[in-house]
């Protein structure tokens, strides 16, 4: 089949147009032969984000921004971007604007979430803006600036109070105090010199005292060694043995055994001793009142029996 010149011209024109469209799309970062999914995200401020900016996941470029337009009737911006078709994540994923470098532009990053419903082309994802380095530094410096301002205000208050305190009267008092301190320092210096002289004069006595203390310390060490050699266990055992014997003796006395026990426990013996004591007391009393009944002295060695009176029986 032979094509006419007009048909050939039309085919060439269509091919040229298609080639132009493909080349323009390629230069824009869009490959017409790739299968991509399109998503949307809403921001109130895109922080300088521009069309054709890369879209990354974990730092890897997986797509690009297609368009940035205002939502109708609002100042919010709707960003449209595409991602290669083989990446799967849920519709709970976050899309974040972040700085690609210190002096670089803004990029769009997807922080995927895999717990929700899988995202499909045309979904609108949640968006947020990450603070830049300078903004973060500014946020950190704001509390420091407040502290510096507070410190400066406090310092200014202290200086004002200090200026009020340093009036002429206070200055005179300070001068007087410094003069007294100087005098006190001189007195201390004089006392120190006297102490030095006292130590020099009594050096021999101090040396003797220290020597005596050393001798006492050695004697105490010897006494401590002697005490450490005592068999404490044996001594305690003997004390326990003596204690047991004393307990046995006390028990025997309490049971009325032996002379002491009988003396303490036998009532008849106690009554007899009490009666004998009473008779002895009466005998001594009678001897004191009538000594002639019991003792008689004669120059001729003969006893006067007629004057003898027999003492009364105390039991009658």
pLDDT tens string 163-175:
666 667 777 777 8
Higher pLDDT, 128 or 3: 128
CA distance 186 to 254: 83
Widest CA span in the chain: 212
% residues pLDDT > 70 (the chain): 75
pLDDT of residue 7: 73
pTM over 0.75: no
Which two tokens mark 232? 């404490």
Whether pLDDT at 42 is above 90: yes
Average pLDDT over residues 291-309: 56
> In this predicted structure, what is the pLDDT of residue 305?
46
Q: For residue 46, count CB atoms less than 10 angstroms from its CB and return exposed for 0-12, middle for 13-18, buried for 19 or more.
A: buried
d(CA 44, CA 114): 26
In the predicted structure, residue 270 carries a pLDDT above the cut 80:
no
DSSP state, residue 90 = B
| Average pLDDT estimate for 170-193 | 83
Q: How confident is the model at residue 26 (pLDDT cuts 50, 70, 90)?
A: low
Q: Tokens 């001068």: give the residue.
A: 175
**Dist. CA 148–CA 159, nearest whole Å:** 16
How many CB atoms sit inside 10 A of residue 127's CB? 19
Whether 232 shows a pLDDT value over 80: the answer reads no
The pLDDT score that the predictor gives to residue 39 is 93
């Amino acid at each position: 089949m032979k094509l006419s010149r007009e048909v050939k011209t039309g085919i060439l024109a269509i091919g040229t147009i298609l080639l132009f469209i493909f080349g323009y799309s390629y230069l824009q970062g869009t490959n017409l032969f790739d299968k991509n999914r399109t998503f949307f995200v809403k921001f109130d401020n895109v922080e300088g984000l521009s069309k054709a900016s890369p879209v990354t996941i974990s730092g890897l470029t997986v797509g690009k921004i297609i368009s940035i337009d205002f939502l109708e009737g609002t100042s919010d911006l709707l960003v449209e971007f595409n991602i290669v078709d083989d990446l799967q994540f849920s519709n709970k994923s976050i899309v974040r604007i972040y700085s690609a470098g210190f002096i670089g532009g803004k990029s769009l990053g997807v922080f995927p979430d895999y717990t929700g419903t899988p995202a499909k082309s045309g979904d609108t994802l949640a968006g947020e803006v990450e603070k830049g380095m300078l903004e973060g530094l500014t946020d950190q410096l704001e509390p420091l600036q407040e502290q510096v301002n507070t410190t400066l205000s406090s310092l200014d208050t202290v200086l004002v109070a200090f200026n009020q305190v340093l009036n002429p009267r206070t200055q005179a008092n300070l001068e007087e105090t410094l003069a007294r301190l100087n005098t006190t320092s001189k007195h201390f210096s004089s006392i120190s010199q006297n102490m030095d002289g006292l130590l020099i004069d009594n050096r021999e006595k101090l040396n003797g005292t220290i020597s005596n203390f050393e001798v006492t310390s050695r004697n105490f060490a010897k006494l401590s060694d002697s005490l450490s050699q005592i068999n404490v266990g044996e001594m305690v055992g003997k004390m326990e043995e003596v204690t047991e014997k004393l307990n046995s003796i006390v028990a025997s006395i309490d049971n009325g055994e032996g002379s002491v026990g009988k003396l303490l426990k036998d009532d008849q013996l106690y009554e007899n001793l009490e009666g004998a004591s009473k008779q002895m007391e009466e005998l001594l009393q009678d001897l004191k009142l009538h000594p002639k009944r019991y003792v008689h002295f004669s120059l001729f060695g003969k006893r006067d029996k007629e004057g003898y009176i027999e003492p009364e029986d105390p039991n009658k």
